[in-house]
Amino acid sequence: MAILSTEGRAATQPSFAHYPAQAWSGKPARLQLADARSQEYAAILRKFARQKPNFAGHFVLATWGCGAGCVMGAAIDIETGAVAWLPFTVCCWNAEVKEPLVFKARSRLLEVNGSRNEQGAGVHYYLFDRGRFEELPGR
């Protein structure tokens, strides 16, 4: 499948299969609330930390509302307890979008549908690697 980039040329849409992650099973680690933001959202992070991994092998991608038509979130490493925050909130997605954030348990790819921090509407792709979300170039 191809999508049109802002320059009008066809660009290849990233595939979840191209960014695999190994499944993990084991005893969940204690949640690490290492920064002020994690401490502020401790209750919701604890709730999600009890769930099974749903992202990038051994992470729970926790998302919740931050206003009307806005979501925020963090990736919780079930193996270590570390928290990696999404570097933006997501809002203003099109009416036909079912989920503003699309991800899979066995992939490190994150598809973001909408505006990030109320800027740059569209579809954006991020690779989650070494505890960081990095936008894939040329998308």
pLDDT tens per residue across span 82-114: 999 999 999 999 888 899 999 999 999 999 999
End-to-end CA distance of the chain: 13
**Closest listed residue to residue 136, CA positions, set 109, 105, 103, 102:** 109
pLDDT digits over 19-51, tens only? 999 988 888 999 999 999 999 999 999 999 999
* CA 118 – CA 84 distance, rounded (Å): 21
- Residue whose structure tokens are 């099109």: 94
Q: Residue 102 belongs to what H/E stretch?
A: strand 101-102
